[in-house]
Amino acid sequence: MGCGQLKLNVLLIGGGMISEEVIMPTLFQEQREGRVGEVLVATRRAATIARLREVFPGRRFTGYPDPARVAQLEESCPEAFREALAELEHPAAVIVATPDHLHTPMVLAALEAGFDVIVEKPLCLKVREVYQIQEAAEAAAAYVYTDYHKRHDRAVRALRYRYRRGWLGELLHGHAWIEEKKEIPLHHFRRWAHESSPFEYIGVHYVDVYYFVTGLRPKRLVAFGQKKFLPSQGIDAFDAVQATIEWEDGSVLFVQTAWVCSQHNSALTNQGLQVLGTEGEYWADHKDRNLHFVTDRGGYEDYNPNFFKAYDSWDHPDDVDWVGYGYESIVQGLNDIRRLYEETAGLSGEARRERRRAIIATLAESRPLPNQALIGTAVNEAVRLSIAHNSRFVGFDEKMYPVLL
């Protein structure tokens, strides 16, 4: 079967913010372009499916739990995704977009059911779970891609390109900041903010960026966290978390994170990165891309055209084209999975698994498959450990398990 012929069916597990704002528009666009077939969406509550039908009128997807078959729309059905998995037909991919602490059992269930997986970052919250996922994926000869979409931002790719060609010399230090509005823990993540933190949820992006750019591994870190505002709102979660990470070459990255910024901020996310090397520096505000709107409808808004925005479609006059690194990252995972089906067509059993393993081994060099997603998870776990021990230094053993120093 030639490239572009195969239609992947996709099961999306989760129907929250990232699903509604990025993943589903991406899947419907891919469906329109003939690269995705059936779309299945599994959430915890039928009410979420009902809401998504209103958000995407006229789009084709099967929802679990089915609002027509539950006694109460708000009833919690944490296992509904298993019914969807049982009904998903090859060729297919599973996308896991549930809260951070729920990724592992869902990824493992998808692998056990025989599917390749795309999972929202972070892959999971514990190094032990990365190895569990990696072993299950290797046994099944399956692909597990973590959606570290900042790797696709041209502002980050530019740094990698020039750093790898020696323009910055040897790195000395860097500063990354990523902070979101209060609505995230107060509204969107109210049910699970205490299970995560602004570092685990978004700070990890810049840990992965530093690793993606340099290929360096972290050596040790020290972290701090503050709980001042959220506890006053009945949420036992950190307002802000900071970590200073020393890497194996002795360079240091300070990462500053929060999710209690003012609702009057000019974008959902303050974010940027500054890096100094022996031969030059990189300095990028990833929020202020030097483009803003001021409108009666939206007030003042910094507008990031790189992330995930709708533009008038070139070929579908009544529709839009979604463009940007949010789109490209998910599509890279979908295309890799389509390639795995296409290049193993006609093979079965061990021959198929061997061919898949060979392709996956090549992809693992340049993609956040578990061997690379390990770094973000290890740093997340170490940050938590450091804070739990009054900001002690934490190092890593040879398998990247955090160790108190």
Ligand X SMILES: NC(=O)c1ccc[n+]([C@@H]2O[C@H](COP(=O)([O-])OP(=O)(O)OC[C@H]3O[C@@H](n4cnc5c(N)ncnc54)[C@H](O)[C@@H]3O)[C@@H](O)[C@H]2O)c1
Would you tell me which residues interact with ligand X (CB under 6 A)?
13-19, 42-45, 48, 78, 81, 97-100, 102, 120-121, 147, 149, 188-189, 201
Bridge-based pairing of strands 8-13 and 92-96 is parallel
* Closer residue to ligand X, CB minimum distance, 242 or 380: 380
Backbone phi, then psi, for 93, in 5-degree steps?
-130, 150
Contact 173, 283 (CB under 8 A): no
For the bound state, the minimum distance from the C-beta of residue 99 to ligand X, rounded and expressed in Å, comes to: 5
For the bound state, the minimum distance from the C-beta of residue 310 to ligand X, rounded and expressed in Å, comes to: 17
* Closer residue to ligand X, CB minimum distance, 125 or 394: 125
For the bound state, the minimum distance from the C-beta of residue 213 to ligand X, rounded and expressed in Å, comes to: 17
* Closer residue to ligand X, CB minimum distance, 182 or 356: 182
For the bound state, the minimum distance from the C-beta of residue 354 to ligand X, rounded and expressed in Å, comes to: 32
By beta carbon distance, the residue nearest ligand X is: 16
For the bound state, the minimum distance from the C-beta of residue 26 to ligand X, rounded and expressed in Å, comes to: 12
* Closer residue to ligand X, CB minimum distance, 141 or 238: 238
Could you tell me the two tokens for 36?
Answer: 């995705």
For the bound state, the minimum distance from the C-beta of residue 355 to ligand X, rounded and expressed in Å, comes to: 30
* Closer residue to ligand X, CB minimum distance, 42 or 171: 42
Whole-number Å distance between alpha carbons of 332 and 321: 17
* Closer residue to ligand X, CB minimum distance, 69 or 165: 69
Could you tell me the two tokens for 365?
Answer: 């060099």
